[in-house]
Amino acid sequence: MRPFTALLAVALTVALLFLVIPVAAIFANTAPSDLIHSLGDASARDALRLSLETSLIALAVIVLVGTPTAYLLATRRFRGRSVAITLIELPLVLPPAVAGIALLASLGPQGIFGGHGPQLVLTTAGVVVALTFVSAPFYIRQAQESFAAVDPRLMEASRTLGAGEARTFWQVAVPVARAGLLAGGALALGRALGEFGATLMFAGSFRGVTQTVPLAIYERFATDFTGALALSAVLVAISGALLASVKLAGRRAFA
């Protein structure tokens, strides 16, 4: 092996070990029977149910609003476009605690829009708001890139053949970009499932109402490490399955 290739291989090995060992330790630390036993706990199941529900609702909202947003940003040039893109991507780089403060400052009871409309803090709807805020950019960014990568000649052909804008969007752009859209959706869903800080600050932690899996893991850490490991293992399994299905879908779409 050439020295440079050997160097690259060493880097890969270090990266793999560093990233894989902590995750593997979740499963190595405890017997599978203990893990399964811990999941029999009603509050663990409440947390799992709540996490799945709120994350899926957040994803639905994100896809519904984010897809046309991404399409617009990918296919039109207008003043302020790059500003809009930057603003949409901003939550990507915000610490979750900042996201929590931002949501309180805007939608909290003393926030600038707080006095009006339904109260969101400490409610399940508040969890959905927090998840949507932090995960939307993951989808929109990916969707925008996927729409931008659609061959413009395909769209032109569609229009030349008499299809309107809307029909071109549904029958050409979305099917061609679907692998990227799926990947973006999976990333957003994974981020939503893992959200912790913004949820705790904006929605609090109450079993069955606002205590999602990451909050339940944090609460268990002090008293029930096995229970915390069990919930972590489930999150790893779900996120791993998400990632794998996206890779498979992507491969099929390009095959």
Partner 1 sequence: MKRVLLVAVIALAGCGANDAHLTVSAAASLKQAFTAYQANDRYSFAGSDQLAAQIRAGARPDVFAAANTKLPDDLYAAGLVEKPKVFATNRLVMAVQPDSKIDALGDLGRPGVKIAMGSPDVPVGSYTRQVLGGLGPKLREAIMGNVRSNEPDVAGVVGKVTQGAVDAGFVYITDVRAANGRLKAVELPPPLEPQVAYAAAVVKGTKHPEAARRFVDGLPGASALSDAGFGRP
The token pair that represents 154 in the structure block: 């395909």
Q: Is 234 in the site for partner 1 (CB under 8 A)?
A: no
Q: Which of 60, 112, 170, 225 binds partner 1 (CB under 8 A)?
A: 225
Does 130 bind partner 1 (CB under 8 A)? Our answer is: no
Contact call for residue 121 and partner 1 (CB under 8 A): yes
Residue 223 C-beta: closest distance to partner 1, Å = 5
- Pair 218, 232: CB distance under 8 Å: no
Segment interacting with partner 1 (CB under 8 A) among 12-20, 30-38, 138-146, 219-227: 219-227
Residue 102's CB: how many other CB atoms inside 10 A? 19
Contact pattern for partner 1 over residues 13 through 32, marking x by CB under 8 A: ---------x----------
Binding to partner 1 (CB under 8 A) within 149-208 occurs at 200-201, 204-207
Please write down the long-range contacts of 83-90, taking CB distance under 8 Å and 24 or more positions apart.
Answer: 85/144, 88/136, 88/137, 88/140, 88/141, 89/137, 89/141, 90/137
Location of structure tokens 């490490």:
225
- Answer for which of 1, 93, 161, 222 binds partner 1 (CB under 8 A) is 222
| Cβ–Cβ < 8 Å for 147, 140 | no
Piece in contact with partner 1 (CB under 8 A), picked from 7-15, 65-73, 107-115, 135-143 = 107-115
The binder of partner 1 chosen from 81, 157, 164, 221 (CB under 8 A): 221
Q: Give the position of tokens 């915390």.
A: 228
Closer CB to partner 1, 68 or 240, in the complex: 240
Under rule CB under 8 A, residue 250 binds partner 1: no
Q: Is 113 in the site for partner 1 (CB under 8 A)?
A: no
Query: By CB neighbour count within 10 A (0-12 exposed, 13-18 middle, 19+ buried), where does 59 fall?
Result: buried
Min separation Cβ 216 and partner 1, Å: 11
Q: Count CB neighbours of 162 within 10 A.
A: 7
Determine if 98 is a binding residue for partner 1 (CB under 8 A): no
Least Cα distance to 226 among 3, 57, 31, 67 occurs for 31
Longest dimension (CA), the chain: 67
CA 190 to chain centre: 4
Task: State the residues that interact with partner 1 by CB under 8 A.
Answer: 22, 104, 108-110, 114, 121-122, 200-201, 204-207, 209-211, 218-219, 221-223, 225
